[in-house]
Amino acid sequence: MPKKRLSDIVFQRIGPPDHKTSLTVEDLSDVLVRRLGLKRKESRSNHSKLLLEFIKFKKENIPLSVEKISQVLGVSQSQTYEEIRKWRSLGLVEFIKMPAGEDFIKGYMLTSNTANRLIDRVEAATKSFMRKTRRIAKDFDDLLMLGIARAERPEKPEEKQLAKEEKEETTAEEIPEESKEEIAENKEEQG
- Residue type for 105, please? I
Contacts of 26 (CB under 8 A, 6+ apart): 48, 49, 52
> How does pLDDT run along the chain (191 residues), one tens digit per residue?
445 555 556 677 777 777 778 888 888 888 888 888 887 666 778 888 999 999 999 998 889 999 999 999 988 888 888 888 888 888 899 999 988 888 888 999 999 888 899 999 888 888 888 898 899 999 999 999 998 888 887 666 666 666 666 666 655 555 556 555 666 666 666 65
3 state SS of 115? helix
pLDDT, residue 19, reads 78
Topology adopted by domain 1-153: Arc Repressor Mutant, subunit A (1.10.10)
pLDDT, residue 1, reads 44
Q: How far apart are CA 108 and CA 57, in angstroms?
A: 10
Tell me 112's DSSP state.
S
Return the bridge partners of 107, or none.
96
Q: How far apart are CA 34 and CA 23, in angstroms?
A: 16
Domain boundaries, the chain: 1-153, 159-191
Of 98, 84, 96, the C-alpha closest to 39 is 84
3 state SS of 67? helix
Q: How far apart are CA 185 and CA 191, in angstroms?
A: 10
Phi-psi map region of 37: left, alpha, beta (phi>0 left; psi -120 to 50 alpha): left
How many other C-beta atoms can be found within 10 angstroms of the C-beta atom of residue 76? 11
Return the bridge partners of 70, or none.
none
